[in-house]
Amino acid sequence: QAIAVEGMKKLPNYTCQDLSNTAMAFAKPNINAREFLKALAAEAARKIWSFEAREVSNITWSLNIMGPGLIDEQWLEPALKHFRTLVRVDFDQGKRHDGDFEGWEMVQLLNAAWAYRSGLSEWPVLAQTFRERIYGPVVRALAGIVGRGPMFQASALIP
């Protein structure tokens, strides 16, 4: 709790990485300093457009697992919108660029936002991107490993 009290004084000076790392540091051991986490979420909302993809996903996951009331659709909507600009949903599969996300950021972010998906305008685009760029390739690779690749080649379930 002493860290939360001291952190409250310094929140306006936290960088995006500081905000994300602090949220994760409280979430992993489940340290429930509710007022501090609410203030941290508010500060993150003010700075969300400066976050990197990993920071967006980490802070969203961390605040979500700390219980209801820290984030909601109003908090998530700009976070998802910004994340979508970072992951470039128009990604050309043949060309990787610096800053391309690795996939786990999207998995973590979508898991954290799942309960709110019906009220999020960014959800359909991100969910489709997930199916095409993460889920489909992983399932096809696993099917190939276990010798069932041909079964999944023409499946409508696998993008």
Lowest-pLDDT range of 60-64, 125-129, 131-135: 131-135
The separation between the first and the last C-alpha atoms of the chain, rounded to the nearest angstrom, is 47
- pTM as predicted: 0.82
How far from 75 is each of 44, 45, 79, 90, CA to CA, in Å? 9, 6, 7, 25
Token readout for 24 is 């994760």
The predicted structure's pLDDT at residue 79: 96
The dihedral built from the CA positions of residue 38, 55, 60 and 31, taken in this order, carries a sign that is negative
Q: Is the pLDDT reported for residue 96 higher than 90?
A: no
d(CA 112, CA 76): 10
Token readout for 52 is 């990197």
Lowest-pLDDT range of 24-33, 39-48, 54-63, 72-81: 24-33
d(CA 26, CA 20): 10
